[in-house]
Amino acid sequence: MEFNYTYKGSTEVLERSNSTQMSFSPDTKRPPTYFIGELRQNVAFREAISALHDVVISDMQFKPKDKTAYKEWRAKQEDIDWEIVAAMRQDTADKIKQLQEELTELKKSSYERWRPYYQAQRHYFDYLYEKDRDAWFVLDPVITVHPDEVFFECFSVDESSYGRLGASYEVFKNIHEFACGTTNIDYSAALYDEFQKIRSYKSTHLQVDPSGFEVQTTNEAAYKEVKIDLPDSWVRGFLQVSSAMSLPAVRFDLHPMDIHNICFVLRRHKETKGPRSMRYHLQPGEPVRVVFEPWEKEVVCPRSRYLGNEPQIIRVWGRRRLHILERLIPVANKFTVHLLGTGMPSFYVADLGDMSFTLGLSGWTANDWSQSGNFDLMAPRADVDEWTQKIIFDALQENWLETADSLAQRLKFSRTAVLGALSAYTQAGRIIYDLNKQVYRVRELSREPLPMERLRFANEREENAKRFLNQNAAQVTSVNDRDGVLVLQGNIRDNEKTYNPSLTIDQDERIIEAECTCNWHQQNKLYKGPCEHILALRMQYVRQCR
């Protein structure tokens, strides 16, 4: 999928003895979005934006070694006469010894002659390092300006980690002007080094340059065209994160020192065998306990008590990605953990006062957001016509952010219809759910509508579920209403077999629990979304309720 960006120049940093001015160059093809302000909380912003950089460069997937060259070399060894080689080696060893003695004498007498060589070598490796760092920034970060805050979003290289930094206007002073909207900003690799120079004793000005939208006809060369060819999975991962954030989760707070202790254990130990999970032991009213496998090391969090009603044991994998949070420990007030379940995604929201940092992690590193987890299938999927959807989206766009209850009350629509419309726009990349403030926000991921025929969430399992409905092979056998929470049971005839799925749907029409007797569900549970039989049962219930 190709994204075309047009920037007026590049991001610039003007460094002075008492001030730093950072000017981001936005995409000029998007509606005017700009912001100008002076940082009030310099150090906290520096650490938060640096943690966002750590998300961008994160790539923890296993990469097998390329043994092609070794196999070619090994094949050639069979044709070698080793007696001749041994004689040549001895002769070569004598010559090397003589050359080394001459070289030692040369270095002692004329070291200055080698200085240009060492300098050129150092510059060469510096060039390679900078060149590789530029490759890290595959997708320019997305920045959104809203009436209450400015937030940055990014995605990791391995597509398993998501980062969002939200900065309210209390973080800034002397805010000159801003225009709400979403744009891509030109974010070079060298900018990270400039962020490290932010100091509390120096004023730092941050601006998404409004001059990038000026009409210019006499100097068109000032505009920089950037074309980025992104895999569909990259964009699909962004959409899956938004769907997962709106799902119900087990929630509790951790003190910053608890995060420090977790990272400390991971620094001190290296796993050589499985299992490699981290178990959260949650007992109502008691401190949170974290157990690390396979060493069974336990970290007790005396400052953090679980306030839920039911005991829980939840296992998460890909735990070394938590090192991204280390820079935030000195400036964070607390970390709010959202766990969707064992092997499911997890979210860590750092409370930085007037800022918040959200780290979203897939179930495990290899289970990336885009291909392995279909969490949109568990989100509200009420059938809402396009006209109603547009009314709801336009209403949200008036205020830029709002809760589903507020929208339903203001528009006189049912909560179900509002949630269904918001879910549809979330899956289209036009709305995001803010896990920190528990509101929906307008965020246009791309300038043009995304090609949903390539990114659509109706996968093979959903197609099979529709086939069951068309063949009248799905039947709801039991409906139990527990204070608005529905527990459904049924049977699905698939060829000569009959499967017995069951699921629990909350008041927001989200799947919170599900079981099925099919082999696919027994192997994957809900780690990769619901199976086709669970989806068919849900669709059949909706059909009967019409």
Q: How far is CA 131 from CA 13, 118, 190, 514, in A?
A: 20, 20, 11, 48
Q: Decide if 65 is inside a domain.
A: no
Segment 345-350 shows an average pLDDT of 94
Cα separation, 328 vs 403, in Å, equals: 28
Q: For residue 208, which of 37, 48, 355, 3 has the smallest C-alpha distance?
A: 37
Give 378-423 pLDDT, tens digit per residue: 666 666 788 888 899 999 999 999 999 999 999 999 888 898 888 8
Range of the domain at 489: 460-545
Q: Decide if 509 is inside a domain.
A: yes
Q: Decide if 475 is inside a domain.
A: yes
Q: Which residue has the higher pLDDT, 279 or 70?
A: 279
Segment 25-34 shows an average pLDDT of 65
Q: What does the block give as tokens for 275?
A: 């299992």
Question: Does one domain contain both 290 and 365?
Answer: yes
Query: Residue 277 sits in a domain of what CATH number?
Result: 3.70.10.10
Cα separation, 223 vs 10, in Å, equals: 9
Of the residues 166, 201, 230, the one at which a domain ends: 230
Q: Decide if 290 is inside a domain.
A: yes
Q: Decide if 387 is inside a domain.
A: yes
Question: Does one domain contain both 368 and 391?
Answer: no
- Contacts from 72-76 at CB under 8 Å and sequence distance 24+? none
Question: Does one domain contain both 334 and 395?
Answer: no
**What pLDDT does residue 371 have?**
56
- Taking all residues of the chain, what is their mean pLDDT, rounded to a whole number? 79
Average the pLDDT over each of 66-70, 166-170, 377-381 and give the range with the smallest value. 377-381
Instruction: Give the type of residue at 474.
Output: A
**What pLDDT does residue 118 have?**
57
Q: Which residue has the higher pLDDT, 124 or 22?
A: 22
Of the residues 403, 428, 451, the one at which a domain ends: 451
Q: Output phi, psi for 171, to 5 deg.
A: -70, -20
Q: What is the DSSP letter of 32?
A: P
Would you say residue 170 has pLDDT above 80? Answer: yes
Q: Could you give the percent of the chain with pLDDT greater than 70?
A: 75
Give 171-219 pLDDT, tens digit per residue: 988 887 788 888 776 556 667 777 788 888 888 888 776 554 333 333 4
- The string of DSSP letters for 119-143 reads HHHHHHHHHHHHHHHHHH--SPPEE
Question: Does one domain contain both 36 and 163?
Answer: yes
Segment 213-239 shows an average pLDDT of 50
Which helix (H) or strand (E) segment holds residue 228: the answer is strand 223-229
**What pLDDT does residue 283 have?**
95
Segment 236-249 shows an average pLDDT of 81
Q: Where would I find the H helices in 187-313?
A: 190-195, 232-245, 256-268
Question: Does one domain contain both 435 and 479?
Answer: no
**What pLDDT does residue 314 have?**
93
- Grade residue 111 by pLDDT with cuts at 50, 70 and 90: low
Question: Does one domain contain both 399 and 513?
Answer: no
Question: Does one domain contain both 139 and 27?
Answer: yes
Question: Does one domain contain both 447 and 421?
Answer: yes
Q: How long is the chain?
A: 546
Question: Does one domain contain both 365 and 384?
Answer: no
- CB neighbourhood size of 484 (10 A): 9
Cα separation, 212 vs 32, in Å, equals: 9
Q: For residue 160, which of 327, 316, 315, 345 has the smallest C-alpha distance?
A: 345
Sort residue 475 into left (φ over 0), alpha (ψ -120 to 50) or beta.
beta
Predicted TM-score (pTM) of this structure: 0.75
Would you say residue 229 has pLDDT above 50? Answer: no
Would you say residue 220 has pLDDT above 50? Answer: no
Which residues, 6 or more positions from 448, have their beta carbon under 8 angstroms from its beta carbon? none
Question: Does one domain contain both 468 and 439?
Answer: no
Query: Residue 389 sits in a domain of what CATH number?
Result: 1.10.10.10
- Grade residue 467 by pLDDT with cuts at 50, 70 and 90: confident
SS (H, E, C) 419-459: HHHHHHHHHCCCEEEECCCCEEEECCCCCCCCCHHHHCCCC
Of the residues 434, 451, 468, the one at which a domain ends: 451
Question: Does one domain contain both 466 and 504?
Answer: yes
Cα separation, 236 vs 430, in Å, equals: 13
Q: Decide if 111 is inside a domain.
A: no
Question: Does one domain contain both 201 and 305?
Answer: no
Q: Decide if 164 is inside a domain.
A: yes
Average the pLDDT over each of 41-50, 418-427, 434-443 and give the range with the smallest value. 418-427
Cα separation, 379 vs 246, in Å, equals: 7
Up-side HSE of residue 85: CA atoms within 13 Å toward CB?
A: 6
Would you say residue 437 has pLDDT above 80? Answer: yes
Cα separation, 22 vs 191, in Å, equals: 9
Q: Determine contact, residues 362/284, Cβ cutoff 8 Å.
A: no
Would you say residue 305 has pLDDT above 90? Answer: yes
**What total number of domains does the chain contain?**
4
Segment 122-126 shows an average pLDDT of 57
Most confident of 130-134, 348-352, 425-429, 455-459: 348-352
Would you say residue 450 has pLDDT above 50? Answer: yes
